[in-house]
Structure 1
Amino acid sequence: MIAVKNLSKHFGQVKAVDDISFDIADGETLILLGTSGCGKTTTLKMINRLIEPTKGDISVNGKSIHEQSPEALRRGIGYVLQNNGLFPHYTVAENMAIVPQLLKWDKQKIEQRTDELIQKLHLVEEQLSVYPDQLSGGQQQRVGLARALMADPPVLLMDEPFGALDPVTRFKIRREFKQLDELKRKTIIMVTHDVQEAFEMGDRICLMDKGRIIQTGTPAELLFKPANNFVIEFLKEQRLQLEFKAVTLMDLWDTLPENLSQAESIDSSQTVWEALELLTANSKQPLSATNPANGQSKTITFESLMTAFYQYQSTET
């Protein structure tokens, strides 16, 4: 869906982005991760031409972004900002209607799409007539996402979307967004400096430093097949928790015990971290997972899960 080829952006003598290339598959979520000043936000802004590159090319769905005007390009790409970017003098409904009005949707179509999204994003109809500063931070972020999704764009760019929220709200909103069906059929590039967030939200992670890509891969690849010492050091402090979030039940499948009893069902694609959360919440009562490929079921207890995880860990590290 998106191809970035030999992309660079120089500000005078400073190479903010220095000859990077990556591809993103249709429906994939790629996280641009790194420290402040590594070039991740500059890269994001070049994709929708808020910043023009010094050299290189970007294509979306096989078409170079320079083959259309910046305005036309942006109408087909959703954009979510850290501070939500809502117009303070517009009501929630007016903020959400901006792109559909530019696309000349009729009033009924705009209202139908608005109603659909406020239900999915846990907003209420009464909030449509209020102004952004009358909402909580979490509600404002939901409205910002709703505005980006209104025209149902195939591509969504998210620049530190949860960065302005307090830790409790941030965790809750992040979990809600991950489960949102609207996002599961989008191609998403998300910028963050939060390692835990990257591992929770991303199918793949592009780790950057000083304008260059250090390694691109799945969360598990960055942990168990690091490209160099920079990757190892960047993830070292949170490594165990990140491993829990990177390893799925299917990764452990062969070392989990056969299903011997009735138990609460859990998706086999869930991570070890998600399974541990469920086990802890249910006083460590067993869970049951089914392999979609062959219908085989496995019992998951706290003890069997940890045994399988440490066995997997020892073979991968």
Structure 2
Amino acid sequence: MIKVEHLVKTYGNLRAVDDISFEVGEGETMVLLGTSGCGKTTTLKMLNRLITPDSGSISINNKNILDGPAELLRRGIGYVLQNNGLFPHYTVAENIAVVPDLLKWDKEKTEKRINELLDKLHLSKDYLSAYPSELSGGQQQRIGLARGLVADPPVLLMDEPFGALDNVTRSKIHGEFKALDELKRKTIIMVTHDVQEAFELADRIALMDKGRIVQIGSPAELLFNPVNDFVSSFLHEQRLQLEFKSIKLTDVWEQLTDTGKKINPSLLSADAGIWEALENFKFYPRETINIINQHNKEVKSVTFDQLMSAFSHYKNLQQHE
């Protein structure tokens, strides 16, 4: 869906983006991760022509982004900003309707789409006549997301979209983000400096430093097969929690022992991560959780100790490969 080749952007003597190339498949979420000044936001802004590269090319759906007016390109790309980017003098309804108005949608179509998104984002229709200043940070960010999604663009660019939120609100929105069916059909490129956020939301991560991409891969690939010391050290402080988030129950399925005690009727999908499984334990004696493998419909009931044993075994296998 998105192909970037040999992209360069300089400011004076500074190479903000230094000859980077990558591809993002249709329906994939790619996260550009790195510290401030590594070039990730500059890269993102070149994708919708907010910044013009010095050299290199960008194509979306096999079409060079320079082959047409910039405003038409941007109408086909959702864009979500860190501080939501809402117009303070517009109501919520007017903010969300900005792109539909540019596309000359009729009023009924616009209202139907806005109401549909509010339902999906768990926002009351009572907010439609409110102004951004009357909303909480989490509500403002949901409205910003609704505005980015309203025209149903195939591509969504997100620049530190949850960076201004407190940890509790951010965690809740992460859960909503992963569950939102609207986003499962999108090709998404997200910028963040938050390692946990990247590991939680990305299919693949492009770790950047000094304008270059150091490594591209799945969260597990960055953890267990780092290309150099920079990647290892970048992830070192949060390594255990990152392992819990990047290793899926399907990865450890063969190492999981079934107790046969399916007392708890609830089922957790094996496509979930170890972290999510841990959150399902209430930690009382002899407790088990049930996990269903959607691929073969097998159900296993496991204890906390069995899950940790399978996790440790999987880690050992990865480190010796």
Query: For the superposition of Structure 1 and Structure 2, which TM-score range results when normalised by the shorter chain?
Result: over 0.9
Cα deviation, 1:165-222, whole Å, max 9, x if unaligned, reads 1122111112211211111111100000000000001011000000000000000000
Matches within 5 A, 1:1-317: 1-258=1-258, 260-262=260-262, 263=264, 264-280=266-282, 285-317=287-319
Deviation at 1:259, TM superposition (A): 6.0
- Kept in 2: contact 1:79–1:158 (CA 8 A): yes
Give the structure-1-normalised TM-score.
Answer: 0.97
User: Over aligned residues, Cα RMSD in angstroms?
Assistant: 1.3
Distance 1:120 1:281 in 2: 33
Deviation at 1:122, TM superposition (A): 1.2
Distance 2:23 2:131 in 1: 39
Alignment identity in percent? 62
Distance 2:109 2:285 in 1: 47
Q: Which amino acid aligns with 1:107?
A: K
Most deviating of 165-174 and 247-256: 165-174
Q: Which amino acid aligns with 2:167?
A: P
Deviation at 1:284, TM superposition (A): 7.4
Deviation at 1:12, TM superposition (A): 1.5
Most deviating of 153-162 and 259-268: 259-268
| Structure 1 ranges of 4+ moved more than 6 A | 281-284
Deviation at 1:294, TM superposition (A): 2.4
- Kept in 2: contact 1:259–1:288 (CA 8 A): no
- Unaligned residue ranges in structure 1 (runs of 5+): none
SS of the equivalent of 2:226 reads coil
Q: Which amino acid aligns with 2:292?
A: T
Distance 2:212 2:255 in 1: 39
Q: Which amino acid aligns with 1:280?
A: K
SS of the equivalent of 1:66 reads coil
Distance 2:67 2:105 in 1: 24
Aligned length: 317
